[in-house]
């Protein structure tokens, strides 16, 4: 039996999952790391902690397994995308905290780019809306805020990478590379020419010398140092977390859709070998390439999902665990008068309002925690339905199902509400490690363990199907739309702080 080690470098924790060649989980190790919020709208992480927890969970997953380490034939890396790290090429040490994808500190830089009329150019070349969400403005901010960083980056002494690239550099002892799915989320990569774009580099003032080499998702990127894990493992697949989930869900056909409910929620549709430029606020990204040409995906991004559960638990302390939310939501009888718009770090697809902040409407003396929790779950369902509606407008058609994964997708109340809102079956696989599985499958393709997609299709996970019950939520949906409009009308002066 051969084995694949998958690293799932997430927003709040890092995990290592050891799969056997049939796609079954052998061992799992997970370690959370700290998030820092130095100012409103700012989100940071410690790159050294990202690295140490990654090495720790890989070592733990291997130690738990009763196998010969030499039978681990390859490694795949999947990661939180857009999060930006700059580090010293010689020492490997980061020169500043990592700026996380959720961070809004560079919203003014994004607005300045749009004000200069570059929005359409960026969108046509990258498939992305100009927004602080993506890496380009974060890179510029770090280069300008750390003394001497820009000059050293121009000489190639300071390197940029998303989390995948940073981990690869340290695990292999110096390989500076990324894959095209992660590169396509920087707002510097041309998804048509499949290369860093000189005009975009000039617009965002980023030197090419600091950028990683870009490779296909299935590729031999390098080999881990034996000193890390007691054996050298080839890294043969790297792919951004949402594209990995699309691949792990086996959405191989054009039009198939998945939604991952993690820290944020991300809805992706396979659009085949042609990128689709949306007219309704959706994004277009490179999904993968396994040797038969690039495959693209249309994407909707929701910034608050699991982070809402964390807020309820850690900040408001109205729940002790996310598992409490389902029975509490079901305990609210009839219509919920509360509407919650969780715009903690702005609103993503299809609204794209960086300055919006969270609002709650309909509070009365009888409002209790159950009303708030139900409103929070409903908000996630409404935002997901809004994205799917936009996808249907772009493609002039619907889809007979949506595949879901991620921790928050285990909430039956939320999935039932979503099924009714979109009027389609919701398929939830029994295997919850879909993102890591996608990275493992990609590495398997890259290493030659799997010949093609037919090999992967044989390893499909069973799924539970949640069917619509025919409930009419048009009244609640109208209240939601109005609440979003009112939220976008209120921009507090200190949002940019």
Residue 356 lies in a domain: yes
Q: What value does the CA radius of gyration of the chain take, rounded to a whole number of Å?
A: 22
Q: Rounded mean pLDDT of 32-39?
A: 92
Q: Which of 203, 225, 242 is the last residue of a domain?
A: 242
pLDDT for the residue numbered 496: 43
Residue 95 lies in a domain: yes
Based on the domain organization, do 366 and 308 belong to the same domain?
yes
Based on the domain organization, do 270 and 321 belong to the same domain?
yes
450 pLDDT exceeds 80? yes
pLDDT for the residue numbered 333: 86
Based on the domain organization, do 213 and 357 belong to the same domain?
no
203 pLDDT exceeds 50? yes
495 pLDDT exceeds 60? no
CATH number of the domain to which 13 belongs: 3.30.420.40
Based on the domain organization, do 19 and 115 belong to the same domain?
yes
Residue 103 lies in a domain: yes
- 101 or 490: which leads in pLDDT: 101
492 pLDDT exceeds 80? no
- 285 or 378: which leads in pLDDT: 378
Q: Rounded mean pLDDT of 399-413?
A: 87
In this prediction, residue 398 has a pLDDT band, given cuts at 50, 70 and 90, of: low
Based on the domain organization, do 326 and 408 belong to the same domain?
yes
Q: What percent of the chain has pLDDT over 90?
A: 68
117 pLDDT exceeds 90? yes
Q: Which of 179, 210, 242 is the last residue of a domain?
A: 242
Residue 317 lies in a domain: yes
pLDDT for the residue numbered 37: 92
Residue 310 lies in a domain: yes
Based on the structure, what is the number of domains in the chain?
A: 2
pLDDT for the residue numbered 399: 67
| Entry pTM | 0.84
pLDDT for the residue numbered 279: 84
Q: Which of 191, 209, 242 is the last residue of a domain?
A: 242
Q: Rounded mean pLDDT of 449-468?
A: 85
Based on the domain organization, do 318 and 381 belong to the same domain?
yes
pLDDT for the residue numbered 397: 62
Based on the domain organization, do 72 and 111 belong to the same domain?
yes
Based on the domain organization, do 485 and 400 belong to the same domain?
yes
Based on the domain organization, do 202 and 346 belong to the same domain?
no
pLDDT for the residue numbered 334: 82
pLDDT for the residue numbered 337: 87
Based on the domain organization, do 171 and 26 belong to the same domain?
yes
Residue 292 lies in a domain: yes
Task: Give per-residue pLDDT as tens, 308-352.
Answer: 999 999 999 999 988 899 999 999 988 888 999 999 888 888 888
Residue 443 lies in a domain: no
Based on the domain organization, do 384 and 352 belong to the same domain?
yes
497 pLDDT exceeds 60? no
pLDDT for the residue numbered 274: 87
Q: Rounded mean pLDDT of 281-296?
A: 90
Q: What's the mean pLDDT when you consider all of the chain?
A: 91
Q: Which domain holds residue 342?
A: 250-429+462-492
Based on the domain organization, do 158 and 63 belong to the same domain?
yes
Residue 471 lies in a domain: yes
């Amino acid at each position: 039996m051969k084995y694949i080690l998958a690293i799932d470098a997430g927003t709040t924790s890092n995990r290592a999952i050891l799969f056997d060649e049939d796609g079954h989980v052998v061992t799992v190790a997970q370690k959370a790391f700290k998030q820092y919020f130095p100012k409103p709208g700012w989100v940071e992480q410690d790159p050294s902690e990202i690295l140490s927890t990654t090495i720790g969970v890989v070592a733990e997953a291997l130690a738990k397994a009763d196998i010969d380490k030499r039978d681990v034939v390859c490694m795949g890396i999947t990661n939180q995308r857009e999060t930006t790290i700059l580090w010293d090429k010689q020492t490997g040490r980061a020169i500043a905290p990592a700026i996380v994808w959720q961070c809004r500190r560079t919203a003014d830089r994004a607005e300045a780019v749009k004000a200069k009329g570059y929005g359409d150019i960026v969108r046509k070349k990258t498939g992305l809306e100009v927004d602080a969400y993506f890496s380009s403005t974060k890179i510029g901010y770090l280069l300008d805020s750390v003394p001497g960083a820009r000059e050293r980056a121009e000489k190639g002494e300071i390197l940029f990478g998303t989390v995948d690239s940073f981990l690869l550099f340290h695990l292999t002892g110096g390989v500076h590379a990324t894959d095209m799915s992660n590169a396509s989320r920087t707002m510097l990569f041309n998804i048509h020419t499949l290369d860093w774009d000189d005009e975009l580099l000039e617009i965002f003032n980023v030197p090419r010398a600091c950028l990683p080499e870009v490779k296909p998702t299935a590729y031999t990127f390098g080999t881990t140092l034996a000193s890390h894990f007691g054996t050298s493992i080839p890294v043969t697949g790297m792919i951004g977390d949402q594209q990995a989930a699309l691949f792990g869900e086996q959405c191989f056909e054009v039009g198939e859709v998945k939604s991952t409910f993690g820290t944020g929620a991300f809805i992706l549709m396979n659009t085949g070998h042609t990128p689709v430029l949306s007219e309704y606020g959706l994004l277009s990204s490179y999904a993968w390439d396994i040797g038969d040409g690039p495959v693209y995906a249309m994407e909707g991004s929701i910034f608050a999902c699991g982070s809402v559960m964390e807020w309820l638990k850690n900040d408001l302390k109205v729940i002790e665990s996310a598992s409490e939310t389902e029975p509490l939501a079901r305990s609210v009888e009839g219509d919920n008068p509360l509407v919650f718009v969780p715009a903690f770090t702005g609103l993503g697809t299809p609204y794209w309002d960086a300055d919006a902040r969270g609002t709650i409407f309909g509070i009365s003396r009888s409002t209790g925690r159950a009303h708030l929790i139900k409103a929070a779950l409903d908000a996630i369902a409404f935002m997901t339905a809004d994205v799917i509606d936009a996808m249907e407008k772009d493609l002039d058609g619907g889809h007979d199902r949506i595949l879901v994964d991620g921790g928050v997708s285990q909430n039956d109340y939320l999935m039932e509400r979503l099924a009714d809102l979109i009027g389609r079956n919701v398929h939830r696989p029994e295997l919850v490690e879909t993102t890591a599985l996608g990275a493992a499958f990609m590495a398997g393709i890259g290493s030659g363990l799997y010949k093609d997609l037919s090999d992967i299709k044989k390893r499909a996970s069973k799924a539970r199907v949640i069917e619509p019950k025919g409930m009419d939520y048009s009244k609640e949906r109208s209240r939601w739309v109005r609440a979003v409009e009112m939220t976008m009308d209120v921009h507090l002066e200190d949002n940019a702080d």
